[in-house]
């Protein structure tokens, strides 16, 4: 993180990418994983991300409208994800979902679809094949 300021000064248009790369130890199960190649040639709309992180995620009340959400929801969590709050923070919301499946990936951080891709695919395909609970 000590190098983030220099990264942003050198390439301000890539500030979001720089931040995520420097937060790697919080993002990945393998704390020393270098995510920089994943971001190569990716264009980021910084205005959108500034708005999302600066306002939307700060102000959102995810409980609002959950009583009207009847579609099945898959919540995929990485055990080593330190970019977001601990998985236990979802506990108070679980009963608000009509049909919630929670899966914690033990060898993943923020991206179980990359870190445990075979298992993630299996879980997702199983979930997609699930009939909605109309109960």
What does the pLDDT look like over 67-89, one tens digit per residue?
899 999 999 999 999 999 999 99
Size of the chain, expressed as the number of residues it contains: 135
pTM: 0.82
Band of the pLDDT at 135, cuts 50, 70, 90? very low
The pLDDT of residue 3 is above 90: no
The pLDDT of residue 16 is above 80: yes
Band of the pLDDT at 131, cuts 50, 70, 90? low
Residue 18 burial class via C-beta count within 10 angstroms: exposed 0-12, middle 13-18, buried 19 and up = buried
């Amino acid at each position: 993180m000590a190098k983030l300021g220099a990264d942003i000064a050198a390439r301000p248009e890539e500030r979001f990418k720089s931040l995520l790369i420097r937060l790697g130890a919080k993002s990945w199960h393998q704390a020393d994983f270098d995510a920089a190649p994943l971001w190569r040639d990716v264009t980021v709309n910084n205005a959108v991300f500034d708005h999302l992180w600066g306002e939307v995620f700060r102000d959102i009340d995810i409980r609002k409208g959950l009583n009207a959400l009847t579609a099945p929801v898959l919540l995929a969590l990485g055990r080593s994800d330190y970019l977001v709050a601990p998985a236990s923070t979802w506990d108070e919301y679980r009963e608000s979902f009509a049909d919630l499946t929670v899966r914690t990936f033990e060898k993943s951080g923020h991206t179980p679809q990359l870190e445990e891709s075979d298992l993630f695919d299996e879980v997702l395909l199983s979930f997609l094949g699930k009939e909605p609970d109309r109960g």
